[in-house]
Amino acid sequence: MDTPLLWHIPLSHFNEKVRWALDYKGIPHRRRVLGPDYLIRAWRATGRGTLPILFMEGRAIGDSTHIIAALEQRFPQPPLYPADPALRERALALEDFFDEHLGPQLRAAVVTPLFRHDPDIALRVLTTGMPEKAYQNLSKLRRVFPAYYRWRHKISDARLEADRAAVHRALDRIEQERQGHAYLVGDTFTVADLSAAALLGVLLQPPELQYPAAAALPPYLQEYRGGLLQHPAMHWAAGIFRQHRGSSAEVARQKRVGDA
Ligand SMILES: N[C@@H](CCC(=O)N[C@@H](CS)C(=O)NCC(=O)O)C(=O)O
């Protein structure tokens, strides 16, 4: 089998879900950051304009949940899905809940005020883990890019409080589901824990994160982050990173003759 290839956005929490699954299962893989033409390339590959995309065994798989499902089937050990059907159903329902009700809202909660008050920091943060050129290119588009990004991700100033309330509800849900136990479903680490922690990683910024944010957050976001860090679910997520994030299984790209 060819080495699986991940097209990803280093900062992105949905991409972190997939990197974590690949690393957790110890699957050697390559990673590639796309340029400004990412949208068209992603559409061509999968029919949808989002990353992550995993190329594996001749297939281009889009959406983090589908990618983890494919990895689970092809590389069942160590498992991320519980063996028991009822527990599996619960773990998948939680993954779906976090994908829909935590990931987009957390992105909006951070990026909305950054674009409003500090667009340059926003560009620095969004190009985390990318070559300096990516930041420079986006800087040239600073007049139009924020509007494009808001449109792409359905972000608006008017929705900020609603998005932040949704993030808080998701944190509360983690604690309700956990009921003081170490894991969300059963007594082992599953896709539910991975999804919740990965999606919180961008705000948590734990030491295990492979692509820490490229710029310090301004005081108003530090304050927001500081408030959330008090929530027991954030403590729990930090522990999940510590115990289960592990190290990268990325393999370096072989340079070929003629490569830059
Ligand atoms: N539900 C999707 C969400 C993926 C997603 O929203 N990806 C964002 C990065 S966080 C993206 O590709 N944004 C670029 C765009 O939509 O133009 C998944 O789980 O993969």
Query: Going from the N-terminus, what domains does the chain have, and what CATH number goes with each?
Result: 5-74 (3.40.30.10), 85-244 (1.20.1050.10)
Neighbours of 255 (CB within 10 A): 8
Cβ of 50 less than 6 Å from ligand 1? yes
Report how far ligand 1's centroid is from the alpha carbon of 194 (Å): 17
Helix 132-140, helix 119-126: angle, nearest 10: 140
What would the mean pLDDT of 153-173 be, rounded to a whole number?
Answer: 97
Cβ of 98 less than 6 Å from ligand 1? no
The pLDDT value given to residue 1: 76
Query: Is the Cβ–Cβ distance between 201 and 234 less than 8 Å?
Result: no
Pairing of strands 30-33, 5-8: parallel
Query: Which residue has 């998948």 as its token pair?
Result: 92
Atom of ligand 1 nearest to the CA of 12: 10
Atom of ligand 1 nearest to the CA of 107: 10
* Position 35 confidence tier, pLDDT thresholds 50, 70, 90: confident
The pLDDT value given to residue 258: 46
CA 249 to CA 26: how far, in whole Å?
A: 6
* Position 259 confidence tier, pLDDT thresholds 50, 70, 90: very low
pLDDT digits 0-9 by tens, 217-250: 999 999 999 999 999 999 999 999 999 999 999 9
Say if pTM beats, i.e. exceeds, 0.85: yes
- What percentage of the chain exceeds 90 in pLDDT? 94
